[in-house]
Structure 1
């Protein structure tokens, strides 16, 4: 048995804690927040093997430059002279090519299917009560051009063994009869599931505490002691702690600590937003508005609208223009669904750690023997939480991992 300290208490950190505890280790989780908000709580709740295509796909950088001048655009990169952003942007641009996408699709599909199935396994084994529905996911399209592109993605899904198909606007309307849609057609990924994130996070925290995992919230790691390529202690703003193994699962903040170990993780914080309504919407299936890049999820007690990727440094300020863009986008596809000023005023944001190639960093750097890194999941953090936790446990236990982890290596070059 080892004592493992996990830095970060979001979905990635708690998933690592779960699997390390199940493997017999003593576990401590440290998080600087109250652990009741941020990306792990405000995401769309999708368990989405359909999302195999990385953010760094052909044409994205070119489109991103155009969107730089539109604060309501789906992807907004705030122009600023910052060396980390310049390095990240250069690496991101290099990754935006077809051969990269082709290489990562099978591995992203594998880790996403693994994550989806582990949510189900945890629910069954622990008797959790969180919402987990296997209703699939629609990609709703308002133009024939977008529909054509989405149908190409269905073909890719078929090659990867996923269940998906094109559907007519009439069929979507028939499946959601209590709302009105303005679309030309859609694709339907039956392979995807959805959840209510806050419910799962709360159940998982309760389980871990009852199991003896120590959770230290509102405590910030401010320094690391290092000797002969190993971490000897972590220093927080409250005290100094020692362990045998350390896990860096601090999301968008991870690169601040990795620098202390001379591990230059290229990461940018991608801010996403969510709005909720408890009023009836008639939207009964998870749906992504393809052109607007907005996700809609029917959750326990509400309908959640989530979206945008705002790369503007580490801050959690609410940009009302982007909240407005989500509300306006929803009404374009669902003319009878409107978001009230009061609902927009309650919008929340979360920061997702984005790597330049759209792949997470999972594994040990050659620069530190007793540190395992688990960050950089971008928009897939919720989908990949349990699978990342399982892989981290396998790395620390030095057993053969459940899948090939080469493309996740923290030392990879861009």
Structure 2
């Protein structure tokens, strides 16, 4: 019997655990290293959406200009903290070059396809019974608007989505209110994308971790990678603060920390941390459908036992500092759309944040680095990270096994050029 391939995964977020899941299924002996003690970060505090409807990449025309215009407003949905950071300047220039209508139009069907595939894989994981029962609901997603400008913009996105075969309908004010029953909502209307689903990330992550540990995958928390040793196009050893590993393959699933790690190998990965915040309310809110409040860019999700209010995109470096101004902006936005929902000071003060790894063109990095035969990348998913966890894990397992991939991964090449 052939010896199992030893695969080391750096990072125990949704990308790392989903990669471990599919690689274990293919017979790998998997070890996962996680620098934190677990239970924190973007994989735990996101809105829990599976979003085939999100076909417009973050790198869209006018986004950088809008971000720069909002730099002085710490409560704005999109915020760039003024700072001197050469890596950020390079990333911002690449983002700018990627933000053309032609590139957005080219990315839209790719984003749709990878999201649909990942949504199907979530279903397969649930049906397999591997994780037992976990929260996964198919109620779609409401994009609620209060102004014609935002409504008209989303109607254009909806028309493109319909052209791709996604089911979406427009709701006038009365229909939107009827859908909310006794819960008061203030909106001119909404687009209801029926193709979307939602989950409770903390439940999925806990059950995935439990399954992996039960099936022989090793997950080491509080263990940070400090050094790589390589020769002849192969990573030979990976040194952590606790141990030295000699893996056959290495998967980098370390999110916003990825660029700092690959620099040790003389490589560059254009990725920046886009901080998001969430407030969890553990009492009845009346919210039954996931919704994005368009003008405020706030996401609302009825999760397993609580309601989550999440939002903002803040570029302020790699840190877990909580900017309470931005958290308060989420609470204020909720009040504007749902006047009866009062988020308390204590709930605001208990807010958490996570760092989404953002690539310059809004597409993730999934694939192998050319310089090393055994080094694989899974990061850069931005706001689609939760949605794309399973598909990323499956694709990276197929790449590693030199199998035909479930979809064309050329657009996700970690070494692609921007502009």
TM over 0.5: yes
Q: Secondary structure of 2:182's match?
A: coil
Query: Aligned partners of 1:342, 1:130: CA distance in 2, in Å?
Result: 29
Query: What is the deviation of 1:160?
Result: 1.2
Q: Secondary structure of 2:79's match?
A: strand
- Pick the aligned partner of 1:342 from 343, 346, 349: 346
Correspondence for 1:145: 149
Correspondence for 2:209: 205
- Pick the aligned partner of 1:230 from 211, 229, 234: 234
Q: RMSD in angstroms over aligned alpha carbons?
A: 0.8
Query: What is the deviation of 1:274?
Result: 0.2
Correspondence for 1:413: 417
Correspondence for 2:38: 35
Correspondence for 1:181: 185
Q: Is 2:369 aligned against 1:369?
A: no
Correspondence for 2:269: 265
Moved more, 366-375 or 190-199: 366-375
Correspondence for 1:320: 324
Query: What is the deviation of 1:34?
Result: 1.4
Query: Aligned partners of 1:341, 1:288: CA distance in 2, in Å?
Result: 22
Correspondence for 2:246: 242
Paired residues of 1:136 and 1:193 also in contact (CA < 8 A): yes
Correspondence for 1:193: 197
* 1:249-284 deviations in Å (ceiling 9; x for gaps): 000001111111222101111110000112211110
Query: Aligned partners of 1:196, 1:50: CA distance in 2, in Å?
Result: 19
Paired residues of 1:261 and 1:367 also in contact (CA < 8 A): no
* 1:24-61 deviations in Å (ceiling 9; x for gaps): 11111000011111100000000011111110001111
- Pick the aligned partner of 1:117 from 108, 120, 127: 120
Q: Is 2:29 aligned against 1:26?
A: yes
Query: What is the deviation of 1:187?
Result: 0.2
Correspondence for 1:128: 132
Query: Aligned partners of 2:153, 2:279: CA distance in 1, in Å?
Result: 28
Q: Secondary structure of 2:388's match?
A: helix
Q: Secondary structure of 2:385's match?
A: helix
Correspondence for 1:56: 59
Query: What is the deviation of 1:178?
Result: 2.3
Paired residues for 1:394-409 under 5 Å: 394-409=398-413
Paired residues of 1:178 and 1:283 also in contact (CA < 8 A): no
Q: Secondary structure of 1:261's match?
A: coil
Paired residues for 1:257-336 under 5 Å: 257-336=261-340
Normalised to the residue count of structure 2, the TM-score between the two structures is 0.98
Paired residues of 1:262 and 1:367 also in contact (CA < 8 A): no
Query: What is the deviation of 1:8?
Result: 0.4
Correspondence for 1:385: 389
Query: Aligned partners of 2:131, 2:353: CA distance in 1, in Å?
Result: 30
- Pick the aligned partner of 2:70 from 67, 70, 74: 67
Q: Secondary structure of 1:29's match?
A: strand
Query: Aligned partners of 1:33, 1:111: CA distance in 2, in Å?
Result: 29
Moved more, 84-93 or 159-168: 159-168
- Pick the aligned partner of 2:220 from 216, 222, 229: 216
Unaligned runs of 5+ in 2: none
Q: Is 2:75 aligned against 1:103?
A: no
Normalised to the residue count of structure 1, the TM-score between the two structures is 0.99
Query: Aligned partners of 2:99, 2:20: CA distance in 1, in Å?
Result: 34
Paired residues of 2:131 and 2:207 also in contact (CA < 8 A): no
Q: Secondary structure of 1:309's match?
A: strand
Query: Aligned partners of 1:353, 1:260: CA distance in 2, in Å?
Result: 19
Correspondence for 1:76: 79
Correspondence for 2:169: 165
Query: Aligned partners of 2:14, 2:164: CA distance in 1, in Å?
Result: 26
Query: What is the deviation of 1:127?
Result: 5.1
Paired residues of 1:55 and 1:357 also in contact (CA < 8 A): yes
